[in-house]
Amino acid sequence: MAEKVSSAATEKSEKLAKTRVAKTSRASENRKMTFFGTDFTQSLFSLGLVVISTVGAGMLLARQSGRIGDFPGLLLMVPAAISLRGNVFGTMGARLSTAIHSGTYRRSLSPTSVMGENINASLVLSLWTCLALALLAKGMAFALGIPNTISLDRFIAISVFGGMLASLAALVFSLLVTNISVRFNWNPDNVTAPLVTAAGDLMTIPALLWAASLMNSDIVPTSFTIAVSVAAVLVLFVVWVFGRTSLKTILKESMPILVAAIVIGIFAGYAIERQTSDFLNAPALLILIPSYLAVAGSLGGLLSSQLSTKLHLGMISPAPFPQKGARRDMLAVVGVAIPAFVALAGLTLLGAKIQGLAGASVANVFGVALLGAIPAIIVVLAVSYYGTVVSLRMGVDPDTYGIPVVTSVLDLSSALTIAFIIGILNIT
């Protein structure tokens, strides 16, 4: 009798899964009825906003290049800090996207709802990862022998204060994008990860620079560090005692991969920090740092999110070689990547000319951006697909692991690529 009940339940579950896949396919076809309904158009639009916003953030970073010398070691945190917004909130968007496709999503801020649970998890993860970033950055600066870096309490104050400001903005924006996607029947896999990345990148650099400007006295960083440390412990205690099992699962699965992503991001920052003098001599190239990392990360997040949803819904299987559905998504990413990198180079050059920055020649800017696009696209395709597949095969949620793995690897490879190309082109 029990076996019959179990068999009936299994059959019902399979029928529901097939129904959800069918609904998803029909929704996908409906999206193609209108111009903005196409997956390609949505992805290109999202990446366009990423390029525009991150070039703006890069222009701010380049304009403040003279202040970078006042905070030695700050560039160590920049790639990891930029990625954290996408890693935390892009991942949240990917989980919500899967919930939308599977029919379990509803607009509710209740702690027991999918949305409320993801909000709470993302805020806790933001606080702890900002704190971890500061500790790891200072530790890595010491281990790598970077002299005269700012003190630990300044690292913590700048990282947590600036990071949490950017996180709150990214949270509001990601929820807004998710609800708009539901309202207008957009595919959230195409818009959430890129747009959340754009919002996070746009806010992260100004927030970090503003936080750094507030840390001129010795009293403020020390007092803030003590308050943050106490708050972080209390928040984790409350969540661990009163939080639901599913919330704890998100935190337990997310923290290790986010910390690993931070470490990789700091190595990316080290590659940039080592060439601080080159960037100060040619500050136009500073515009490329957030822009190049963000575009590569957005492409990876976009593809990872799409593949994760299809794996969850059984539309593709985790095969060693990408199946037709996966290859279609990968080809589409290449299609939007090319105009994105061209636009990035053009807007970088325009922004550098407007600000009158040194090193703003066509050969320099287009050389670094377009030569760097080739390895970036290759890494995006390889890491996005196999990172998502390996996550599923290991029995962990690819929505939680896919984006952090992809963006952290892309941050490091992108930073090394920029440094390598600058050396080849002899830009000083």
* Cα–Cα distance for residue pair 359/319, rounded to 1 Å: 46
Please tell me the distance from the alpha carbon of residue 11 to that of residue 87, in angstroms, as a whole number: 36
98 contacts 229 by C-beta, under 8 angstroms: no
- Give the tens place of pLDDT for each residue, 308-352: 778 877 888 888 888 888 888 899 889 888 888 999 889 988 888
pLDDT at 277 over 60: yes
Q: What are the domain boundaries of the chain?
A: 36-425
pLDDT of residue 216: 63
DSSP-derived secondary structure letter, 19: H
Span 145-160, pLDDT tens digits: 877 788 888 888 888 8
By the 10 Å C-beta count (0-12 exposed, 13-18 middle, 19+ buried), 214 is classed as: middle
- Phi/psi for 314 (5° steps) reads 75, 15
The answer to whether 86 touches 298, Cβ cutoff 8 Å, is: yes
Write the DSSP string, 238-296: HHHHHS-HHHHHHHHHHHHHHHHHHHHHHHHHHHHHTTHHHHHHSGGGGGHHHHHHHHH
Q: How many CB atoms are located within 10 Å of the residue 291 CB?
A: 31
Amino acid identity, position 192 = T
Tokens 């794996």 label which residue?
311
Give CA–CA dist 410/10, Å, rounded. Answer: 40
Distances (CA, A) of 217 to 137, 156, 205, 222, 385: 21, 14, 21, 9, 47
**What is the radius of gyration, based on Cα positions, of the chain?**
22
In angstroms, rounded to a whole number, what is the distance separating the alpha carbons of residues 351 and 202? 15
In the block, residue with structure tokens 């003098």: 277
Query: How far apart (Å, rounded) are the C-alpha atoms in residues 151 and 221?
Result: 9
Cα dihedral 329, 330, 332, 337 in deg (nearest 10)? 140
pTM value is 0.71
* Contact indicator for 383, 355 with CB cutoff of 8 Å: no
Rounded CA gap, 212 and 234, in Å? 26
Predicted local confidence at residue 16, as pLDDT: 40
Max mean pLDDT range (126-130, 293-297, 362-366): 126-130
How many angstroms separate the CA atoms of 288 and 340, rounded? 13
Per-residue pLDDT tens digits for 234-275:
888 888 887 788 888 888 888 888 888 888 888 888 887 777
Q: Which of 34-43, 64-73, 187-196 has the lowest mean pLDDT?
A: 34-43
Q: Could you give the C-alpha distances from 131 to 187, 223, 256, in angstroms and in order?
A: 34, 15, 14
Considering 11-20, 88-97, 314-323, 351-360, the range whose residues carry the highest mean pLDDT is: 314-323
pLDDT at 133: 92
Q: How far apart are CA 149 and CA 146, in angstroms?
A: 7
Residue 68 has a pLDDT of: 66
Can you tell me the distance from the alpha carbon of 55 to that of 52, in angstroms, rounded to the nearest whole number?
5
Cα 361 versus chain centre, distance: 30
